[in-house]
Structure 1
Amino acid sequence: MAKKKHQGGGTPATVALDRAGVTYAVRSYAHDPRAASYGLEAAEALGVEPGRVFKTLLVDTDHGLGVTIVPVDTTVDLKAAAAALGAKRATMADPAVAERTTGYVVGGISPLGQKKRLPTVLDSSATGHATILVSGGKRGLDLELAPGALLQLVEGRCAAIARRG
């Protein structure tokens, strides 16, 4: 996987990766606004198994907002996410709050380059892959990188926070 540099027109996520010197690949596709699931659309369009494509979701805990990163074919286990974030409870954050806090639009929220650094938890299933894909900061743009590099950049932790079904 070759390191891609963006001169000028990068997103805050690609700028953060470039500044950190992280090796990553840009994976883009034509986003269909009628898609029922942004993440599953990305997996299909890029020809990648859904378990390697991760979505970024904000949760609201009794300690404030937190970032969860889970495979697109799963949901966040709110109880597990709360525990991983050191909180007693968690609910899904309001989409408008998520957009304001991160600087990204829903469906394009990247865990990288957010306006405000929040406590972040990556689902432990990510460690079973050499690389995973996360949003690059806009719909139709994913970034492929090593899960360890992602965790280091966001100063996050790994925990079992995804639930099937």
Structure 2
Amino acid sequence: MSKKKNTHSTGTPATTLLDREAVPYTVHSYTHDPAAANYGMEAAEAIGVPPARVFKTLLVSTGEPGSAALAVGIIPVNRSLDLKAMATALGLKKVEMADPALAERRTGYVVGGISPLGQRNRSRTIIDTSAMALETVYVSGGHRGLDLELAPADLQRLTEAEVAHIAGH
């Protein structure tokens, strides 16, 4: 995998982080279709890789007070987040999907383009175990139509993520 700079003029916080940390990654740009019903599946099809290698970034509300009230789950785009498993991984009784507007404010990214990398405010992060068996994974680069391919160990290190089985069916 070669290291490629983002071809967009300003880059994104995600690519800036990867460059600063000298992490090898590959940029995969595609034309986003505003009518796409599922951003992650759109990315997998556009890039031409199996959906199990493309990971979406989902935020959950933990119900805890203050800024720690959100957590990040990173799962394959062809799976859903198992909220009970996510809660267990976080040591909580339950979690629920975060309000999209809150997720955007917290991360600095728009829904459908939320990257697990370079978020405005870092949240506790859990990566699904399936990622760790892959040579590389694809995650959003910070906007719709931009995915970044990198080693799952680098993703885990940069997000300070824990690994747990959090993907449902």
CA–CA distance in 2 between the matches of 1:50 and 1:5?
24
Identity %: 62
* Alignment match, 1:107: 112
Residue 3 of structure 2 corresponds to residue 3 of structure 1: yes
Give 1:105 deviation, angstroms: 0.2
For normalisation by structure 2, the TM-score amounts to 0.94
| Partner SS for 1:74 | coil
* Alignment match, 2:148: 143
Q: Show structure 1 runs of 5+ residues with no match.
A: none
Q: Give CA deviations for 1:122-159 in whole Å, capped at 9, x if unaligned.
A: 00000121000000000000000000000000101110
* Alignment match, 1:37: 38
* Alignment match, 1:131: 136
CA–CA distance in 1 between the matches of 2:17 and 2:140?
13
Residue 103 of structure 2 corresponds to residue 98 of structure 1: yes
| Partner SS for 1:89 | coil
CA–CA distance in 2 between the matches of 1:157 and 1:129?
16
* Alignment match, 1:65: 70
| Structure 1 contact 6–18 (Cα < 8 Å) conserved | no
Give 1:86 deviation, angstroms: 2.0
The count of residues paired between Structure 1 and Structure 2 equals 164
Give 1:5 deviation, angstroms: 3.0
Q: Give CA deviations for 1:36-84 in whole Å, capped at 9, x if unaligned.
A: 1000000001100000000000000133100000000000000111111
| Structure 1 contact 61–88 (Cα < 8 Å) conserved | no
Q: Show structure 2 runs of 5+ residues with no match.
A: none
CA–CA distance in 1 between the matches of 2:20 and 2:147?
18
For normalisation by structure 1, the TM-score amounts to 0.96
CA–CA distance in 1 between the matches of 2:87 and 2:4?
35
CA–CA distance in 1 between the matches of 2:130 and 2:11?
28
Amino acid at match of 2:89: A
Residue 116 of structure 2 corresponds to residue 117 of structure 1: no
Amino acid at match of 1:36: A
Residue 92 of structure 2 corresponds to residue 75 of structure 1: no
Q: Report the structure, 1 or 2, having the larger strand content.
A: 1
CA RMSD of aligned residues (A): 1.1
